[in-house]
A and B are shown apart, each in its own frame.
Chain A
Amino acid sequence: MRTTNSSAYGGTWMRPLAVTALGAVFAVPLYVVLANTFKPGADIASSPAALPAPPTLDNLQAVMDRPDHLFWASLTNSLLVTTLSVVVLTVLSAMLGHYLARTNSRWGRAATLLLLSGLMIPPQVILLPITHVLRIFHLMATVQGLVLFNVGYYVPFGVFVFAGFVRTIPVELEEAAAIDGAGRLTVFWRIVFPLLRPATASAVIFFGVWIWNDFIDPLIILGPGSGTTVTTGIYRAIGQYQADYGTVFGLMFLATLPVLILYLVLQKQFVQGLTSGATKG
C-alpha cells in the first residue's frame, strides 16, 4: 500500500511536513495545559504560551496541600464511583449480553431492541425524573445512587459490546462444558468470560474514561452537599478561585493523569474497541 500510494499525495517530504504542521496546531491546547501546570500562577495570566522556565512543582504542591482537601476528596470520590460502576457494569453487561446473544425468543429480541435504543437517550432527558427515582430509594446525593445511575445508563453500551462479541464464539464450547456437569454460572465465569477478554478490555476502558470524565450527572446526583468528583471539583474551583489559575491548571493536570496513563497503557485495546464496528466482517 505504501508504494501504491506514495505518488498519489505528492512528494515524500510533503506528508511528514503536513502532518507536523497540522499536529502542532492541533496540540496547542495540550501544550498550554502542560506548560502552565509547571509555571508560577502569575506567569499563567501574563504569558500563557511561554515555556515554563524554570519549571516549578508549586502548583501541584499547592493543589495537594489545600486545607479544604478538595483534590484528595474529589480523587477519592472519583476513584470510588468509577471503580464500583465499572466493576458492576462489566459483570452485569457481560451476563446480560451473553444471555441475550444466546436467546432466540421474541422476548429476548424485544429486550435487545429496548436496550439498544437506550444508546441514544441524552442524559438530560432522564436527569429530572432520576432525581425523584433516587429519592424514592433514599439514594439521592449518595455515591451508591450515582453508581446505580451509571450502571443503568451505560448498560446498553456494555450489552452492545458483549452481545456482539458472544456471537463470534461457537456455542458448542459452552454446551460441551455443560455436558461435563458444570452449572450455568460456573460455565459462564470459567469458560465464557475468559473468552470475552477483548470485549471486556474495550468495555472497561470506555466505561472508565466516560465515568471518570462525567460532569453533569455527578454535578446533579451528588449535589453540592455530598462532595465532588474530579470534574465537578475543577468546575467549582474555577468559580471560587477565578484569579488563581495555578491551582486550576494543577488540578486539571492531576485529574487527567490517571485516565491519561490508562489510555497510554491500553492505547491498542482502546483503538481496537473503537474500531471493531468501523469495518464490516
Chain B
Amino acid sequence: MAIDVRTVRSQPVSRVRPAAGRSRSRRIRAALARFGVFGAPGLLVYGCFVLAPVGLSFWYSLTNYNPFNPQTRFVGLDNYRMLFGDDEFLTSLRVTSVLTVILVIVPNLAGLGVAMLLNRKGWFYNTWRGVFFVPMVLSSVVVSIVWTRLLADDGVVNQALGWIGVSPVGWLSDPSLALYSVAGIMAWQMLGFCVVVYLAGLQSVPAELYEAASIDGAAPFARFRHVTWPLLAPALTINTVVLLISAFKAYDHIQVITNGGPGSGTTATVAFLTLQTGFIANHQGYASAMAVVMLLIVATASAVVLRLLQRREVDL
C-alpha cells in the first residue's frame, strides 16, 4: 500500500518540475497534446467555417466566378473597378451609412434616457425593465412581421393618426420614408440592449460621488455632465460598437419588411445587395467583391470607433 502511494505521487511531481535534457521532448509532446485536446478543435472549426470562407471571398472577388458560367477566370481588380461605377452599389453604401448613423445614435440616446428613468429599485421599475428587454429575445422575423402590420397603409398606426385627423402616411410604401421606418423598427429592437448596458453603468456609479457633487453645489445637469456621463464611458463604448456592427449586418429586417424596396434599392443595404447579387443573380465573383469591401469598412469603422471611445475611458 505504501509503495502504491509513492508511485502515484512521484509521477506528477516530475511533470511539475521537469528535469533538463530527456524530459524536454516530453514537455513539448505534452504541450502539443494539450493543444490537440483543448485548442485545436475550436480553432479547426473556426478556420474551416470562418477564416477559410473569408479567404475564399477575397479569392472569388478577383474572378468572374458564376456557377452557371463554366469558365471562371482571374480578372484582377476588375470587379472592384466596376463596383465604384455601379449606381446600385453606391446607393447601397448610402443606405447603409444612413442606417448606421441612425442606429448608432437613436438607441444610444433613447437607451440612456430610459435607463436613467428606470434606475430605481422596486417591482414597478423591474416590471417595466422586463418590458423594455423583451424585444431583444424576439426573432427579427417576428419583429419585422408585426411592425409591417402596424405600419401598413391601413395599419394600426395610420388608424390612430386618422382619429386625430392626420392623413395616412406611407411608412413603408413611400420610397423616401421606408428606410427611416426600417431604421426605427431596428432601433426599437436594439433599445433594450442599450438600456441594460446603461443601467449597469449607472448602478456602478458610487453614490458618494453624487453626494460630494451635491455638497459642492452642482446642479442636476452639472452632476450628469461631470459625474454620470464620464463614468458611463465603458457603457457608451460597448453600445456604440455593438450598434455599429449590427447596422452593417442589417439583413433580416430588410428582406422581410421591404425586400430592398419600395422603388429601386431604397432600403437595400450592402449586406442585402451582396446576398441578392450572389444568390439570386449568381454573380458570385462580383458579390464577393462587395463582401470584401463591406468587411474592410466594418473592420476600419469598428477599429476607429473603439480606439476613439477607449481613449476617452483611459483619460478619466
A residues whose Cβ falls under 8 Å from a Cβ of B: 1-2, 4-5, 8-9, 15-16, 18-20, 22-23, 26-30, 32-33, 48-49, 92-93, 95-96, 98-100, 103, 111, 114-115, 117-130, 132-133, 148-149, 151-153, 155-156, 159, 175, 178-181, 184-185, 188, 209, 212-213, 215-216, 220, 230-231, 234-235, 238, 245, 248, 252, 255-256, 259-260, 262-264, 267, 270-271, 274-275, 277-281
Q: List 6 A-B contacts (CB under 8 A).
A: A19-B124, A128-B60, A155-B45, A231-B139, A256-B138, A278-B238
A175 adjacent to B114 (CB under 8 Å): no
Stretch at the interface among B70-78, B164-172, B248-256, B260-268: B248-256
Q: Chain A: which residue is nearest B246 at the CB level?
A: A122
CB distance from B298 to the nearest CB of A (A): 6
B278 adjacent to A152 (CB under 8 Å): no
Verify if B193 is at the interface (C-beta below 8 Å from A).
yes
B43 adjacent to A111 (CB under 8 Å): yes
Verify if B101 is at the interface (C-beta below 8 Å from A).
no
A279 adjacent to B46 (CB under 8 Å): no
Q: How far is the CA of A253 from the CA of B117 in the complex (A)?
A: 30
A124 adjacent to B146 (CB under 8 Å): no
Verify if B48 is at the interface (C-beta below 8 Å from A).
yes
Contact of A215 among B56, B139, B198 (CB under 8 A): B139
A96 adjacent to B41 (CB under 8 Å): yes
Q: How far is the CA of A124 from the CA of B54 in the complex (A)?
A: 10
Q: How far is the CA of A76 from the CA of B42 in the complex (A)?
A: 26
State the main secondary structure of chain B at its contact with A.
helix
Given A111-B43, A278-B201, 20 more pairs with CB closer than 8 A: A4-B210, A19-B125, A49-B159, A49-B160, A118-B51, A120-B298, A121-B50, A124-B251, A128-B60, A129-B53, A129-B56, A175-B16, A181-B12, A216-B251, A220-B279, A238-B145, A255-B139, A275-B197, A278-B234, A279-B234
Given known contacts A8-B220, A99-B34, A133-B49, A32 and B121 CB-to-CB distance under 8 angstroms? no
Q: Which residues of chain A have C-beta atoms less than 8 A from B188's C-beta?
A: 26, 29
Verify if B161 is at the interface (C-beta below 8 Å from A).
no
Q: How far is the CA of A175 from the CA of B17 in the complex (A)?
A: 12
Given known contacts A8-B220, A133-B52, A48 and B155 CB-to-CB distance under 8 angstroms? yes
CB distance from A185 to the nearest CB of B (A): 6
CB distance from B5 to the nearest CB of A (A): 10
Given known contacts A120-B245, A124-B274, A278-B197, A256 and B234 CB-to-CB distance under 8 angstroms? no
Q: Which residues of chain B have C-beta atoms less than 8 A from A180's C-beta?
A: 12
Q: Which residues of chain A have C-beta atoms less than 8 A from B145's C-beta?
A: 234, 238, 248, 252
CB distance from B8 to the nearest CB of A (A): 6
Query: Which 8 interchain pairs have the tightest Cβ spacing?
Result: A152-B49, A275-B200, A96-B42, A129-B56, A126-B53, A99-B38, A213-B139, A129-B53
Q: Which residues of chain B have C-beta atoms less than 8 A from A267's C-beta?
A: 130, 133
Given known contacts A19-B117, A271-B196, A126 and B50 CB-to-CB distance under 8 angstroms? yes
A252 adjacent to B146 (CB under 8 Å): yes
Q: Which residues of chain B have C-beta atoms less than 8 A from A118's C-beta?
A: 46, 50-51
Q: How far is the CA of A280 from the CA of B200 in the complex (A)?
A: 11
Most chain A beta carbons < 10 A, residue from B49, B146, B288? B49
Q: Which residues of chain B have C-beta atoms less than 8 A from A185's C-beta?
A: 37
Instruction: Compute the total of residue contacts between A and B using a CB distance below 8 Å.
Output: 278
Verify if B82 is at the interface (C-beta below 8 Å from A).
no
Most chain A beta carbons < 10 A, residue from B42, B118, B119, B204? B42
Given known contacts A124-B271, A230-B139, A4 and B214 CB-to-CB distance under 8 angstroms? yes
State the main secondary structure of chain A at its contact with B.
helix
Chain B contributes a number of interface residues (CB within 8 A of A) equal to 103
B223 adjacent to A8 (CB under 8 Å): yes
Contact of A234 among B42, B60, B142 (CB under 8 A): B142
Contact of B284 among A28, A128, A262 (CB under 8 A): A128
Contact of B252 among A16, A129, A216, A274 (CB under 8 A): A216
A128 adjacent to B279 (CB under 8 Å): yes
Verify if B287 is at the interface (C-beta below 8 Å from A).
yes
Verify if B243 is at the interface (C-beta below 8 Å from A).
no
Q: How far is the CA of A149 from the CA of B53 in the complex (A)?
A: 11
A2 adjacent to B298 (CB under 8 Å): no
CB distance from B247 to the nearest CB of A (A): 10
B252 adjacent to A215 (CB under 8 Å): yes
Verify if B19 is at the interface (C-beta below 8 Å from A).
no
Q: How far is the CA of A275 from the CA of B115 in the complex (A)?
A: 13
Q: How far is the CA of A92 from the CA of B145 in the complex (A)?
A: 35
Verify if B294 is at the interface (C-beta below 8 Å from A).
yes
Q: How far is the CA of A171 from the CA of B129 in the complex (A)?
A: 38
Q: Which residues of chain B have C-beta atoms less than 8 A from A19's C-beta?
A: 117-118, 124-125, 128
CB distance from A115 to the nearest CB of B (A): 6
Contact of A260 among B120, B134, B274, B275 (CB under 8 A): B134
A278 adjacent to B235 (CB under 8 Å): yes
